Amino acid sequence: MPRPITIAFDVMGSDHGPSEVVKGAARLTLESPGIHALLVGDGDEIRKALEEIRHSGERVSVHHAPRFITMEEKPSAALQEKPDASVAVAARLVREGEADAVVSAGNTGAGVLACARHFQLIPGVRRAALAAVYPTQQEHGEKHDPFSLILDVGATVDATPDDLVAFAVMGAQYSKVISKNPDPKVALLSNGVEPQKGPPRVVEAHQKLAALKGIRFSGNVEGVDIPKGRADVIVTDGFVGNVCLKMLEGVAETVVDIARYAYKSKLRWRAGLAMLSSGIKRLKSITDWEQYGGAPVLGFDQLFIKAHGRSKSKAIANAGKVAAKAVSANLAAAIREGLPR
């Protein structure tokens, strides 16, 4: 039997507390016999949580980390002050070979910084990217995934043309491995489809991507194409990507608020919404964080998956599966090979 893939779970600092992350990891050990879960965080809390739930005892181990970083803390100051915080310890354990990848539902910035501190950038990559998987109208790849990937969404706010090219390669390789999409369509986000549209950095990135071999570059897409899912991978800098991703969240919240208002305000509307409930469930399933594994930090020789802070056990387990898949496919090597020479 091959050695199992070990995923280090940072169990601290998520919205639902350590027990939910432990539950997700425990679930994973039952569902995926090839995966070992290394739970990093408050040892007592982890053991207490484990006692209450079913799990595979031989595929779970615990590593105590005395402190952790909250959602509200400033990442760099917090990591400086607490080098023994669970997220940093999890990353260090991966670097030291105790685990193969990290899953965390805690502070995003702290996760990215922990990677920068403990992992190595892939040769040819100058800056890392946080990639977000988001729901679209159109389906993608062999799995008919209703998701696209957009990167960077916040790790590198000031990306150069070469950074954008590297992001394109990272996104394409991740999509190949995770979405079983053998030839993903990669597009560059701009304010028009013509190659000369956009600020100089985007125009230059377009030229470089058009000349790059081994990638299916479909040219520029516009904002309107993001929710439609007209590309499998959308490339942009961390500033624009972050604004876009948060706007999608804001729109989703606004729609839910309006529906809630409609539900409360009129009996007739209420009846209508009730009749629509299976339709709404369908819509909800598309916008459901639980279904997909989270946001990978790409560009390092090791993988870090940032699950949403609100993740329940199912999302945590999925993040672990995605991380294991990337490890067994050797994502870092695939990215290295796809970069321009």
Minimal distance in Å, beta carbon 333 to a copy of itself?
31
Q: Where are the alpha helices (DSSP H) in the chain?
A: 18-31, 43-51, 75-81, 86-95, 108-118, 161-178, 200-211, 225-228, 238-265, 267-275, 277-286, 313-328, 331-338
Q: Does 189 bind a copy of itself (CB under 8 A)?
A: yes
Pick from 44, 183, 257, 288 the residue near a copy of itself by CB under 8 A: 257
> DSSP code of 121?
B
193 binds a copy of itself (CB under 8 A): no
- Unique residue bearing structure tokens 């990669």: 186
x-or-dash pattern for a copy of itself, window 264-293, by CB under 8 A? --x-xx-xxxxxx-xx---x----------
- Which positions from 129 through 158 interact with a copy of itself, judged by CB under 8 A? 137, 154, 157-158
Asked if 77 interacts with a copy of itself (CB under 8 A), we say no
Three-state DSSP at 206 gives helix
Q: How far is CA 156 from CA 15, 184, 226, in A?
A: 25, 23, 20
Q: Compute the least distance from the CB of residue 61 to a copy of itself, in Å.
A: 36
CB of 253 to a copy of itself, least distance (A): 7
Site size toward a copy of itself, by CB under 8 A: 52
Give residues with Cβ within 8 angstroms of 176, minimum separation 6.
182, 184, 334
Asked if 227 interacts with a copy of itself (CB under 8 A), we say: yes
- Which of residues 125 and 153 has its CB atom nearest to a copy of itself in the complex? 153
Q: Rule CB under 8 A: which residues touch a copy of itself?
A: 137, 154, 157-158, 189-191, 197-200, 202, 222-228, 236-240, 242-251, 253-255, 257-258, 262, 266, 268-269, 271-276, 278-279, 283
